[in-house]
Structure 1
């Protein structure tokens, strides 16, 4: 039995274009949908009411997703999710939490392991009050081909990590788990992306040659009190990841 498609809720940030925020939230919902979810989206009017925006804003958001190849729109028939939508398409990053969630969604995730360990030396500046963090290791695969795309290590404060459900980590990115399942009030995330060469562990997990180019992402997540609650280190296959950045001049 096919279930209806249900988009996630969204808290709008008035400093960012509304159409962009809506498109990224809907994108995350599309890529993170359950296998039995309907491919038919609600109407423009229903989606606009769900997100609390105008129909014109909703149309602009849908136009963005259509240009990316995630949906198709048919006069009199409605709007449908493309079954073979390409999940590795470039992401447009404007700085919202939902953009981070969308970037990490749409892949099959396996939890490789988790447990406490001493704070790594290169992360000591982020956890000056801690002797240990809880590290979660995950491998992500393309939802269609099953090919490894990236593997992630998240160093999380122990008090927060104790509330993380591993089943949630197999369905959602860590950012979404912390915000929506654990209830952390995230104030900001600082992202850094740099080119590196695959070490033996990364080469084995991602099925690439040793010392082949990869992209190394570091994301530092802060709560409302200014504490670092999570440091994500993600190794992406160089041939499976790209992104573009749009700078708003206003």
Structure 2
């Protein structure tokens, strides 16, 4: 298969419709409403089923976005996260969902370097960009290392900035693992997406200059609004 075209050279009808839709999207521009399925079928001289399949694929890819009861629109470009410390590639805003103390169980206790049963701070926040909810972050820290964090931290701000300014703790390195999953019903509701939407899951452990764990984070981002760039060097 070359560029999505089978070796036998016969292009699936929906793929041809998809290609024409991409040209139309460029012409319409970000935020523009897409014509109805009926109008597109007439425009391309194809069945509504072929149009529906092509539009559905472009919605999953994040090129189009559906608004319930309103219509389908040209989506803005995807947000980019570069695989670098303290660099999301955009200016996020955060809204608090949960801020609590919990007893640490394994393997979280081992990752944070505390005994099983020691108290940890759990911080859960919805992440937004350009006014749209794009993800959900859950962060875990040792309560003993950061006393009073739950009372003093502004959850709308940067956690790592707060740790540096108040506790003189600075992130030196991190390990981050990325995979694709589907959100749970609760996660999908908090982010405001369908459970069928693929999500990017980032699991990260940060450390200070002495190699001591700072926090363990689980970040869930919308697959249709997010891409990741990693720079590799030898």
TM > 0.5 fold call = yes
Please tell me whether the aligned partners of residues 112 and 215 of structure 2 are also in contact (alpha carbons under 8 angstroms): no
- CA distance in structure 1 between the partners assigned to 2:204 and 2:164 by the alignment: 15
How many residue pairs align between the two structures?
155
Match of 2:128 in 1: 141
Partner of 1:150, secondary structure, is strand
- CA distance in structure 1 between the partners assigned to 2:77 and 2:101 by the alignment: 33
Query: Which residue of 81, 88, 92 maps to 1:107?
Result: 92
Mark the CA change 1:120 to 1:213 in structure 2 (over 3 Å): closer, same or farther. Answer: farther
Please tell me whether the aligned partners of residues 111 and 166 of structure 1 are also in contact (alpha carbons under 8 angstroms): no
Structure 1 ranges of 4+ moved more than 6 A = none
- Are 1:159 and 2:144 counterparts? yes
Gaps in structure 2 of 5+ consecutive residues: 1-75
Match of 1:176 in 2: 161
Match of 1:125 in 2: 110
- Are 1:216 and 2:201 counterparts? yes
Match of 2:79 in 1: 89
- Are 1:190 and 2:175 counterparts? yes
Normalised to the residue count of structure 1, the TM-score between the two structures is: 0.55
- CA distance in structure 2 between the partners assigned to 1:136 and 1:90 by the alignment: 24
The CA deviation at 1:242 is 0.6
* Bigger-Rg structure (1/2): 2
Please tell me whether the aligned partners of residues 119 and 127 of structure 1 are also in contact (alpha carbons under 8 angstroms): no
The CA deviation at 1:108 is 1.6
Q: CA RMSD in A?
A: 2.4
Please tell me whether the aligned partners of residues 193 and 216 of structure 1 are also in contact (alpha carbons under 8 angstroms): yes
- CA distance in structure 2 between the partners assigned to 1:139 and 1:205 by the alignment: 7
Normalised to the residue count of structure 2, the TM-score between the two structures is: 0.59
Deviations 1:69-106 (A, max 9, x none): xxxxxxxxxxxxxxxxx89532443xxxxx33221751
Mark the CA change 1:104 to 1:111 in structure 2 (over 3 Å): closer, same or farther. Answer: farther
The CA deviation at 1:238 is 0.9
Please tell me whether the aligned partners of residues 135 and 156 of structure 1 are also in contact (alpha carbons under 8 angstroms): yes
- Are 1:229 and 2:214 counterparts? yes
Greater CA deviation, 219-228 or 156-165? 156-165
Greater CA deviation, 221-230 or 147-156? 221-230
Match of 2:231 in 1: 246
Mark the CA change 1:242 to 1:157 in structure 2 (over 3 Å): closer, same or farther. Answer: same
- CA distance in structure 2 between the partners assigned to 1:87 and 1:180 by the alignment: 34
The CA deviation at 1:244 is 1.2
Deviations 1:42-66 (A, max 9, x none): xxxxxxxxxxxxxxxxxxxxxxxxx
Match of 2:21 in 1: none
